[in-house]
Amino acid sequence: MEKSQLEQQHKAQLQELKQLRKKYAIARKIVTAEGFYQTWFNSLRKFESGAAAFEALNQLHYNTVLPPRYKYSSYVTFLNVIKRRNSKK
C-alpha cells in the first residue's frame, strides 16, 4: 500500500472513531429516563416530529445496549412517562 493510501485510510478510520465516540456518548446518556428525555427534547429541532426524534433515540438505545432492547415500547408509552414525570413536579 502506498503512503497516500495509508494516510487516507487512517483519516477515514479517525473519522469513523470520532462518529462512534459521539454515538456512544449519547448512548450512555439515554440509558436513564432523565437522560433519554433530555436528549429527546434537545434533538426535537433536528427531526420532523417528536415521534421521529423518539424513534431515532429508541433505535440508538436498541443498537447500543446488551442485550439489545428498546428503552420504551412505544412513543405513547414515552409520552405517558413524560406526563407522569411532569405531574410529580
* Total-model pTM: 0.74
pLDDT in tens, 12-55: 999 999 988 888 888 888 999 999 999 999 999 999 999 999 99
Cα–Cα distance for residue pair 65/81, rounded to 1 Å? 21
Residue 89 has pLDDT above 80, yes or no: no
At 17, list the grid cell.
472513531
Mapped onto helix, strand or coil, the DSSP state of residue 30 is coil
CB 39 within 8 A of CB 82: no
Domain that holds residue 75: 3-88
Can you state the angle between helices 33-43 and 3-29, rounded to 10 degrees? Answer: 120
Tally the domains of the chain.
Answer: 1
Residue 25 confidence (pLDDT): 86
Q: How many CA atoms does the CB half-sphere of 56 hold within 13 Å?
A: 17
